Amino acid sequence: MGRRKTTRFWRVVNAVLATRPGAKLAEITRAPINKLSGLMARSKRERPTPWAPFTKKFPEARLAIVTTAGLHVEGDPPFDIDDVRGDATFREIPADVDPRRLRIAHAHYPHQRFLQDHNVILPLDRLHELVAAGALGGLSPRIFSFGWGGGLTREYIDPKTGTAHEVARRLQADGADFVLFVPT
Amino acid sequence: MCNRAGSLIANVIESYGIPTICLSINREMSEAVRAPRAGFVKFPYGAPFGEPGQPRQELKILYDLFALLRRAPAHGTLEDLPHQWRRTQYDEIPPAAFAVL
């Protein structure tokens, strides 16, 4: 295990993204960043291809949300945005959270649109409306929120210690019938 | 930006028997690391469900994702969803439309 390496770089990026020109720059550079990140993410290793068929009707199905938006409830510890490798830990957010209590600890995307309207990342208003109308069975009580993943892999998928496994077990305990994953 | 971590996490969750549907805003990354099912929107980072204050747009993206969850044939399905930033007009989707998906 290597020593934890930290950088102030992403804090600077975060401050730039919080400005109007910085947010604009993020949109202009999106295409090359996507291309480069796609190339870097390529792996020669064969990965498992699990498949769980979705057989329920939506009015009987309980939806759980999982995101990597770096969201957490105020008062909960924020994600580590200084670790050069990323932070594979997660926070729980109640599905009935007051959105005004949500905070972002993620330095890789502009936050302005979320601060205007939480539904651009967590469309909770729409989902609660669907549940109230009987079109969706319900929302799982916990939203699971991860931080920036960087190049981390084992920290998520290791069967014994991986945080994704812990989240999967908690989703099972919550009786989730399907999961919507939201990136940022 | 964390579409890669999302695919890794979705695959683990799916291995516990829970079906997953992923929204993607980075097609290249979602191609490199495949999730069981993903729908791509060409939207800016920080706004995967579109522009602020556009409930019809959010609902349509949810509808498209739920429909994809229903019809995706096999692991690794990655579909482009028909949404254009600031250029798509959205009709109201009645909740009953979700019930028959």
Would you list the domain boundaries of chain B?
3-99
DSSP-derived secondary structure for A136-169: S-EE-SEEEEE---TT--HHHH-TTT-HHHHHHH
**Spatial CA neighbour of A65 closest among A149, A153, A171:** A171
Report pLDDT for A168: 98
- Is the four-CA dihedral A144, A146, A29, A33 of positive or negative sign? negative
B-chain CB neighbours of A136 within 8 Å are 98
pLDDT of A46 strictly over 80:
no
pLDDT of A141 strictly over 70:
yes
Chain B contact present for A105, CB below 8 A: no
Report pLDDT for A40: 78
The pTM for the full model equals 0.93
- Residue written as tokens 């020669």? A44
**Which of A34, A53, A164 comes nearest B26 by C-beta?**
A34
Average pLDDT of the segment spanning A26-37: 83
A-chain CB neighbours of B50 within 8 Å are 120
Distance from CA of A51 to the nearest CA of B (A): 6
Report pLDDT for A153: 92
- Distance, CA of A125 to CA of A142 (rounded, Å): 16
**Spatial CA neighbour of A164 closest among B50, B30, B4:** B4
Extents of the domains making up chain A: 9-182
- Is the four-CA dihedral A138, B62, B39, B51 of positive or negative sign? negative
pLDDT band at B51 (very low <50, low <70, confident <90, very high): very high
Report pLDDT for B1: 52
List beta partners, residue A71: A104
Query: Angle A20-28/A30-41 helices, nearest 10 degrees?
Result: 60
pLDDT of A2 strictly over 70:
no
pLDDT band at A178 (very low <50, low <70, confident <90, very high): very high
One-letter amino acid of B45: Y
Reading the block at residue B64, the tokens are 């498209």
Do residues A147 and B73 make contact, with C-beta atoms less than 8 angstroms apart?
no
Reading the block at residue A163, the tokens are 């945080």
CB contact under 8 A, A120 and B50: yes
Mean confidence (pLDDT) of chain A = 92
Taking the CA atoms of residue A61, residue B66, residue A146 and residue A107 in that order, the dihedral angle to the nearest 10 degrees is -150
ipTM over cut 0.85: yes
One-letter amino acid of B17: G
Report pLDDT for B70: 97
* Choice between B86 and B67, residue whose per-residue pLDDT is larger: B67
